[in-house]
Amino acid sequence: MAKTCVPVCVRQPDEMRDAIAAAARAGDIVELRADCLIDPHAAVSFLHASARSIERPLIVTLRSPEQGGRAEIDDDARRRFWSSLKKLPANSFVDLEFDLVHEFSTAESPAELPVDWSRVICSHHDFTRVPDDLEKIFERMAATPAGIIKIAVQTGDALDCLPIFELLKRAQAKGRAMIAIGMGEAGVTTRILGPSRGSFLTYASLEEESGTAPGQLTAKDLRELYRIDHIDLDTEVFGIMGQPVGHSLSPRIHNAAFAAGGINAVYLPFEVRDALQFIRRVAHPKTRELDWKVGGLSVTAPHKSTVMQALDWIDPAATEIGAVNTIVVQGDQLLGYNTDAAGFIAPLRTIVGSLRGLRCAIMGAGGAARACSWALSEQGADVTILARELKRAQSLADRFGLKSRELSGAAHRDFDVIVNATPVGMRGQLENETPATAEQLYGVRLAYDLVYNPVETLFIREARAAGCDVLSGIEMLLAQAVEQFKLWTGRDSDLEVMRTAALRKLSG
């Protein structure tokens, strides 16, 4: 099983006991961050008095300000802290920055540590980037007597994880225990896959707001969402590539489906700037730099068109739409599909039946509108593109031989179905806006909002007030995910399991 370490970072000494107990319930190891305390030396008194009552293995850390510490502690104070710490629970560790490890291990009269060197974690943090000399840093740390090496660096892109995984391979080859972490949203992959690839442990927070490093997941998500205890070298890796992807519900949906189906697979978020480099270095069987089993990828904005250049085969429908949202690894080839179109149509047909001759309006002229336009025209619907910039509406309409007009404040009663394919209404700055009011929607049979967070947008509420039937974007999200799952696994997924996972997150 993967070892999960839950840090404790509290300000007041009297908070330590309860915080450590809570962390022990959530993780396998507890890290006490003494630098978080108003008086770091309070940790010494607490540990001397309470060492026997702590049931989990403990890591004691006094991080320096230069290495991300929470308190202004100078070098002399750091030395005094470790010299005064005499007693720790059994199976405990101490985390010392490289400068102290070097000093303590080379001094003529080294400081007396509360553990032997095999239980010392020699750590290095870089909160700005992945250093170019990462391997040299590793070699310098590996030359110390510390039993465990820890390197944590800031990532800005999924490709930044590659040298971190290489460090784990290097440590294994040298027979050295190591913790390698990519901090930030782009480094989540290292936190989830690290233990299966040799990382001594991975860090996780107790709650989302209590993380002690950027990109730290909760212990609950590591165990229940990503099933980290079941990940091994045979686990098939799937994921969503885009920028940003931190908000995506796809990991919730697909990991729940894999678990329900008893499939040894994990679905990860990949923060990707350069889609072609990511495909070449991470995904394509012929060129990828990681020895892992990639089964497929979801593709989201802004990469749906760009990735087409890197694929070996593309489904004709995806070629016509001009976008791929699903990649399947088959042998040594990458196959591209678009499940957005099918995912859009499926719930719509459930409500209205045949779409032939139905008067449909699509508000928006971006990527989502393109897939919807193609799907509706394939079904024989009478489609009009509405956009604030008439040129954009005309450009999309001309692609599929459709009608177009400017999106204005006019009524939409001459349409049977109206689709919001814009981001208006999405949680955040646009949440209290709608592309159409109830007054404009009177007479429309069905209003379909592709926005799924929140589930009920202002557009949906306005449509209900106008007496329209409504469809939330969650239905399209789920329907396209069902199609993806089948392409990847050849099996049907449990739609209700997917729905429950998505709605639980949206309502949380």
The answer on 160 and 88 residing in a single domain is yes
Q: What is the pLDDT of residues 359-377, one digit of tens each?
A: 999 999 988 999 999 999 9
Q: What is the pTM of this model?
A: 0.94
Q: pLDDT per residue over 106-146, tens digit each?
A: 877 666 788 899 999 999 999 999 999 999 999 999 999 99
The residue-averaged pLDDT of 459-471 equals 97
Establish whether 304 is a catalytic residue. yes
pLDDT value of residue 347: 96
Shared domain check, 176 and 87? yes
173 lies in the same domain as 104: yes
Question: How far apart (Å, rounded) are the C-alpha atoms in residues 277 and 283?
Answer: 9
Please tell me whether residues 254 and 218 are part of one structural domain: no
Task: Provide the residue range defining the domain that includes 426.
Answer: 341-471
State whether 332 and 346 are in the same domain: no
Percent of the chain with pLDDT over 70: 99
Contacting residues for 224 by C-beta, under 8 A, at least 6 apart: none
Q: Note whether 186 and 67 are same-domain residues.
A: yes
Question: Would you say residue 432 lies in a domain?
Answer: yes
Are residue 428 and residue 302 in the same domain, yes or no? no
- C-alpha span between 457 and 432 (Å, rounded): 8
Domain end marker among 338, 373, 405: 338
Domain membership of residue 185 (yes or no) is: yes
Examine residue 70 and state whether it is found in any structural domain, yes or no.
yes
**In the listed set 224, 250, 285, which residue is the last one of a domain according to the structure?**
224
266/145 same-domain check: no
Summarised one tens digit per residue, pLDDT across range 187-228 is: 999 999 999 999 999 999 998 776 777 789 999 999 999 999
Same structural domain for residues 218 and 243? Answer: no
Q: φ, ψ for residue 17 (rounded to 5)?
A: -60, -50
Judge whether 26 lies within some domain. yes
Among 3, 136, 169, 304, the one annotated catalytic: 304
The DSSP bridge pattern shows strands 265-271 and 326-330 to be: unpaired
**Residue closest to 124 by CA, chosen among 97, 146, 145, 100:** 97
Domains in the chain, number: 3
Q: Is 328 in the same domain as 371?
A: no
Residue 491 lies in a domain: no
Task: Tell me the average pLDDT across 323-330.
Answer: 97
First CA to last CA distance, the chain: 28
346 within some domain:
yes
Q: Which residues contact 101 (CB under 8 A, 6 or more apart)?
A: 120, 122, 141, 144, 146
